[in-house]
Amino acid sequence: MKTLQDIDIKNKKVIIRCDFNVPLKNGRIVDDTRIKASLDTINYCLKNNCKIILLSHLGRVKEESDLTKNNMKPVARRLEKLLDRKVKFINQTRGKRLEKSVSEMNEKDIILIQNTRYEDLDGKKESSNDLELGKYWASLGDVFINDAFGTLHRAHASNVGIASNIQSCIGLLVEKELKALNELNSPEKPFIVILGGSKVKDKIGVIENLVTKANKILIGGGMAFTFLQADGFDIGNSIVDYDSIELCQTIMKKYPEKIILPIDIATSKEFNNESEKTDKDINELEYNDIGLDIGPKSVKIFKKYLKDAKMVLWNGPLGVYEFKNYRKATTSILKYLVKENIKTILGGGDIVAAASISKTKDKIYHASTGGGATLEYLEGKKLPGLEIIK
Ligand code: AMP
């Protein structure tokens, strides 16, 4: 895999594909973790006197009304603050103004172009990797650096498209992410996997790929109910993925000693934070109970398995962590892993957000910035954004 060390970027015009897909509320950035994660590569290019052109997607653009919601301008302003230097925002994804600005760049100048998915409005050019578009963006620079870990599993014009046309390498963030995930190829034992979240389908591939390496797979969150239902329990009104029940049965039959399910549940009659919360053993759930978190007995059991772990991979929260009353198990186990200094990799998205809320994120060994990309990599799938650079 070509990295920044393999390419001479000194004084060159570099195009960096970042992952600036940050959560926005009324045009304000709610969490700038992803912008901060891009700084190492940008600073490396500044040290090498590069002219820097940045691009990224932001949200989804399907209709005109999505344009204002997903405007990249606030990212330029935040980046300016974080870098303490000017970032010129070009409110275009192509055109004369962009080309003129690029041609007038001096060393260490930084340009950020508008959201690459603005190109999706007219025939999904970005997301379907329109060949002309990739070629056009590539024509703006000398070298392409892909530092958008979160989109490596997609073949878009702004990653695969550009990389098909000019000399390319991965950036420092992608390098760091891959290094951490590659440690899971031969993990130190005991190796424990924690899986939560709601979408069982997304995680079956990871289970199948890691089950032989892992000593135990601890299952919580919404996905636990599909396993519990498959195991014959009455799960009341909890979330369940009926399409995956057979697969869960197969996995539990094949690896009975490896899959660990919760034995008690924090339940409510309604899907909100306010209605009364009752902890129940798993065989006590009534038809109208909704399981929103794993219970304290299960947390104790999970900690027992984690106690001697040398390596932990965790994807998906153990409960509806967005509700304050149902993030108890997730927070308790995150804090336990930090306290016991257990080497832990958090696999993107919601579990990283939960770690931010519980103020444990900075003490965790590695918090991955990619959700889907992390899962696909762990499933052993080839990521198009990487393959083209290989
Ligand atoms: P995923 O994208 O599959 O990792 O799912 C993350 C989502 O799972 C978060 O938004 C959580 O609120 C949700 N989640 C976790 N536990 C439960 C549960 N018991 N019932 C419903 N949703 C849950």
* Same domain? 223 vs 307: yes
Token pair 């590659």 is found at: 182
List the residue whose alpha carbon is closest to atom 18 of ligand 1.
222
Note down the domain range covering 363: 186-378
**pLDDT value of position 371:** 81
When pLDDT is cut at 50, 70 and 90, the band that residue 200 belongs to is: confident
User: Alpha carbon of 264 to those of 101, 154, 302: distances in Å?
Assistant: 60, 39, 12
Is the pLDDT assigned to residue 171 strictly greater than 90?
Answer: yes
pLDDT in tens, 235-275: 999 999 999 999 999 999 999 999 999 999 999 999 999 99
Low-confidence winner among 55-64, 286-295, 376-385 (lowest mean pLDDT): 376-385
* Residue 244 belongs to some domain of the structure: yes
The mean per-residue pLDDT over the stretch 214-220 comes to: 97
* Same domain? 221 vs 363: yes
Options 199, 297, 335, 363, the catalytic residue: 199
Question: Quick one: which atom of ligand 1 is closest to the CA of 350?
Answer: 6
pLDDT in tens, 13-45: 999 999 999 988 888 998 898 999 999 999 999
Give yes or no: 141 in active site: no
Is the pLDDT assigned to residue 201 strictly greater than 90?
Answer: no
pLDDT in tens, 317-362: 999 999 999 999 999 999 999 999 999 999 877 899 899 999 999 9
DSSP 105-121: --TT-EEEES-GGGGGT
Are 87 and 112 in contact by the 8 Å Cβ rule? The answer is yes
Low-confidence winner among 78-82, 174-178, 365-369 (lowest mean pLDDT): 365-369
Last residue of a domain, one of 173, 195, 216: 173
- How many whole angstroms from 221 Cα to the centroid of ligand 1? 6
* Same domain? 324 vs 198: yes
Token pair 């594909």 is found at: 17
Is 289 a pocket residue for ligand 1 (Cβ < 6 Å)? no
Question: What is the CATH number for 168?
Answer: 3.40.50.1260
Rounded to two decimals, what is the model's pTM?
A: 0.88
User: Alpha carbon of 386 to those of 51, 84, 146, 169, 383: distances in Å?
Assistant: 24, 31, 9, 9, 5
Which residues touch 195 (CB under 8 Å, ≥6 apart)?
203, 206, 207, 217, 218, 219, 220, 221, 223, 314, 315, 316
* Same domain? 24 vs 117: yes
Q: What are phi and psi of 299, to 5 degrees?
A: -60, -40
Is 319 a pocket residue for ligand 1 (Cβ < 6 Å)? yes
**pLDDT value of position 369:** 82
* Same domain? 194 vs 133: no
Question: Quick one: which atom of ligand 1 is closest to the CA of 221?
Answer: 16
Count: domains in the chain? 2
- How many whole angstroms from 317 Cα to the centroid of ligand 1? 6
User: Alpha carbon of 16 to those of 150, 169, 315, 353: distances in Å?
Assistant: 14, 10, 28, 25
Q: Which is nearest to 291 in space by CA: 267, 318, 261?
A: 267
* Same domain? 277 vs 139: no
Question: Quick one: which atom of ligand 1 is closest to the CA of 315?
Answer: 4
Options 348, 349, 371, 385, the catalytic residue: 349
Identity of the residue numbered 265: I
* Same domain? 278 vs 202: yes
* Same domain? 43 vs 162: yes
Q: Could you give the angle at the alpha carbon of 329 between the alpha carbons of 326 and 333, nearest 5°?
A: 150
- How many whole angstroms from 319 Cα to the centroid of ligand 1? 6
Last residue of a domain, one of 150, 173, 196: 173
Low-confidence winner among 92-106, 133-147, 199-213, 216-230 (lowest mean pLDDT): 199-213
pLDDT more than 90, % of the chain = 89
List the residue whose alpha carbon is closest to atom 5 of ligand 1.
197
The mean per-residue pLDDT over the stretch 186-204 comes to: 92
* Same domain? 31 vs 54: yes
Question: Quick one: which atom of ligand 1 is closest to the CA of 225?
Answer: 19
Identity of the residue numbered 246: E
Is the pLDDT assigned to residue 74 strictly greater than 80?
Answer: yes
* Same domain? 220 vs 350: yes
Give yes or no: 319 in active site: no
Is 266 a pocket residue for ligand 1 (Cβ < 6 Å)? no
Q: Which is nearest to 313 in space by CA: 366, 379, 370?
A: 366
Q: For the chain, what is the mean pLDDT?
A: 95
